[in-house]
Amino acid sequence: MTRFCIAVLALNAVLYAQAPPPDARMMRGDDVRWADPKHDDSHWDLIAKKGLTRWQEWLENRLWIRSRIVIPESADQLALVVRFCLCEVYLNGVLVGALGDLSQPRPLNVSRVAVLWLPRDVEPGPRVLAIRHYLPPGYEVVAALWRYGHPQLVRSRDVPAALEGASRLWFQETAFLLSLVLTALLAGLWGQRFDQLSRLICAYLILSGLTSLLYMDWGREGTTVRAFLAIVAAAPLPAIVLAVMANLGNVPLRAWWWGPYLAVVVVPRALWMAGSWAARPPVWTPWASYLYLAPVVWAIGAGLWCLWKVEGKDWARRVLILAGLATLVLSLLARVAIGSVITAGGISQFGAVLAWDRLSNVVFGILAAVFLVRRARDRRTEESRMKSELAAARSVQSLLLGQSLPAEVEAVYVPASEVGGDFYQVWQNRNGTMLVIGDVAGKGLQAALTVATVVGAVRRSRDLMPGELLAALNEAMQQQGGFITCCCVLATPGELRIASAGHPSPYLDGVELALEAGLPLGVASGVIYNEVQVPRPRLLTLVSDGVLEAANASGELFGFERTRDSSSHPPKQIAEAARAWGQTDDITVIHLRRL
């Protein structure tokens, strides 16, 4: 771990725009005599070579930095521009100015950027610059401290430009505005229904944007605002990221998720803050910071678990979980001293500091917004398709059920989805009562259109005999494509004439009729469908294969025996039994009773 942190420090040092001078030294502790230019600081740590914080350094919240600067000859008054620190600045032992009152146990920042004017009579030449810092234990991330807190020596005419550069917070402002734009975009996604994942991501974007305000220059009067934002906006972010990852991985967030989260995140954080804000940190302060590595290990385990639970090749979810894991780990590390060795670095560009944890927050927010936009697009496509299918389904249903049944016929139709592939027709002609039941292969809109075509063909051929009707429908299907199983029955007072095109056999008074199945409609042209004549029973039962193929959770089919045993029951009872067993297809049941 030590080597890893040192490697990260070295990487950050390469990326920093302003590197400390080779002679800059630092020392934990507090002694105003250290401002004396004659003080021997040779035993102090060189900032350029400073390693990790030593144990005894955790017990001090005061830090001194000394370096040598050269005061140039200039007709203009010189000034030191200081930003982002609580400190007092001494030039050759003389106090030039301060940011915050370091006499207080817990100083408050007056301003994030200040101009400290040097006396006009300061003589040019080499001078010792000593800076007395207030810094909670463990937060002296070496290069970051120099970059943030070291004064910049400028001439008076260059002060406005230096102030603008030092105050530049374009990254935080951009992150804030970007989060608002992304949230507004998601809120107006063409009627997007906000499920749990959408609400979590929108909450993350809003709170991440508010967290960016923590880095703005509020002044002393804004201390309460910053504390409010830290509690309301920044603190919940890791928990929200965790919830998003769990949702993406279809992992239920149970109490055992939040118990460890509170134990390993809140408790060490509270202990460390209590210790670091004390006038002199207690001896347990280092332990509180090292304990904070526990949530990092726990977060990695939780993220990998969510990643493993993603089903199939859903790379969009996997990428977003990985981004969330990186954000979660960096966010946790950024909240306590030991983690700041990694996260408080970043990239200095255009006068602004892009810290790793803030960068990961913004990247995760962008990826999450893109994920929701993509999902909303897919949903709109699916909803559009479903609307078309529903319109077709309504048309088919009106054809199927919008008919008056004779007193001797009872029928039940239970579609498996909004669009059904079963159909039945019942009418009376000069020969007797005709019944047609069929099942279109396939699902969706195409099946619904095929049903509409077949029903239209049936209604144009009402005077044909069962075998002739099947032959006519078969020829009509040659142009339509696909195939259909179908059974036609002509009932007269004394007999039944039955022809089948691959449909399940009918039941006569509870006994399955041995019937030549025949080829389904649409398979081949010119097929002749034979008719079978049988005496008319008291009860004829016709079913679709949705009854036979109903399957329970273990995969067991409703089957022929159960269908046979229940064939004498009312159609609604048969259909309900098959549906309760486990409906997998449309269910149609027709009874023809001899009155």
From 166, 183, 209, give the residue that closes a domain: 166
Residue 504 to residue 47: CA distance in whole angstroms: 87
pLDDT of residue 351: 45
In the sheet that holds 409-414, the strands lie side by side as: 409-414, 587-593, 539-543, 507-508, 511-512
Final residue belonging to a domain, choices 380, 395, 430:
380
Domain that residue 587 falls in: 404-593
Beta carbons of 573 and 513 less than 8 angstroms apart: no
pLDDT at residue 234, as a whole number: 73
Q: In this predicted structure, what is the pLDDT of residue 521?
A: 93
- 509 and 446 within one domain: yes
Neighbouring residues of 191: CB distance < 8 A, sequence distance ≥ 6: none
Q: Are residues 216 and 268 in the same domain?
A: yes
User: Which CATH number goes with the domain that contains 113?
Assistant: 2.60.120
Q: Hey, what are 557's tokens?
A: 């089919």
Tell whether 585 is covered by a domain.
yes
The rounded distance, in Å, linking the Cα atoms of 195 and 212 is 26
Q: Does 392 reside within a domain?
A: no
- Report the Cα–Cα distance between both ends of the chain, in Å, rounded: 89
The last residue of a domain, from among 133, 166, 199 = 166
Evaluate whether 436 touches 411 at the Cβ level (below 8 Å).
no
- Inside any domain, residue 485: yes
432-482 confidence digits (pLDDT tens): 999 999 998 877 667 777 888 888 888 888 889 999 999 999 998 887 778
In the prediction, which pLDDT does 360 show? 79
Name the amino acid, one letter, at 434. M
Determine the Cα–Cα distance for residues 576 and 438; give it in Å rounded to an integer. 20
Reading the chain (595 residues) residue by residue, the pLDDT tens digits are 344 343 433 434 333 345 567 788 988 888 999 999 999 999 998 887 776 667 777 778 888 999 988 888 877 888 888 876 788 999 999 999 888 888 887 776 666 677 888 888 888 889 999 999 887 776 665 555 665 567 878 888 777 776 666 555 544 555 555 666 666 566 555 445 667 888 888 888 777 777 766 665 554 445 566 666 666 767 788 888 888 888 888 888 776 666 666 666 677 777 767 776 677 777 777 777 677 777 778 788 888 888 888 877 788 888 899 998 888 888 777 766 555 555 555 554 444 456 677 777 778 888 888 888 788 777 777 777 777 766 766 666 566 556 788 989 999 988 887 667 788 999 998 889 999 999 988 776 677 778 888 888 888 888 899 999 999 999 988 877 788 999 999 999 899 999 999 999 999 999 999 888 889 999 899 899 999 999 999 999 999 999 999 999 888 999 999 999 999 999 999 999 999 999 988 899 999 998 7
pLDDT for res 144: 57
Looking at the fold, whether 118 and 202 belong to one and the same domain comes out as no
Q: Virtual CA dihedral for 338, 344, 346, 350, nearest 10 degrees? A: -170
Nearest CA to 26 out of 114, 141, 153 is that of 141
Say if 245 falls within a structural domain: yes
Strands (E), 454-571: 484-491, 495-501, 507-508, 511-512, 532-535, 539-543
Assess whether 192 and 119 both reside in one domain.
no
Within this chain, do residues 249 and 306 fall inside the same structural domain, yes or no?
Answer: yes
Question: Looking at the structure, do residues 289 and 248 belong to the same domain, yes or no?
Answer: yes
Determine, yes or no, domain membership for 387.
no
Same domain, yes or no: 449 and 461: yes
User: Residue 399: inside a domain, yes or no?
Assistant: no
pLDDT > 90 fraction of the chain, expressed in percent and rounded: 25
Are residues 188 and 130 part of one domain?
no
Shared domain for 241 and 261, answered yes or no, is yes
Residue 195: the pLDDT is 76
Which tens digits make up the pLDDT trace of 296-308? 787 888 888 888 8
Residue 128 domain-assigned? yes
The answer to whether residues 355 and 490 belong to one domain is: no
pLDDT of residue 533: 94
Total domain count, the chain: 3
Same domain, 367 and 509: no
- Whether residues 151 and 255 fall in one domain: no
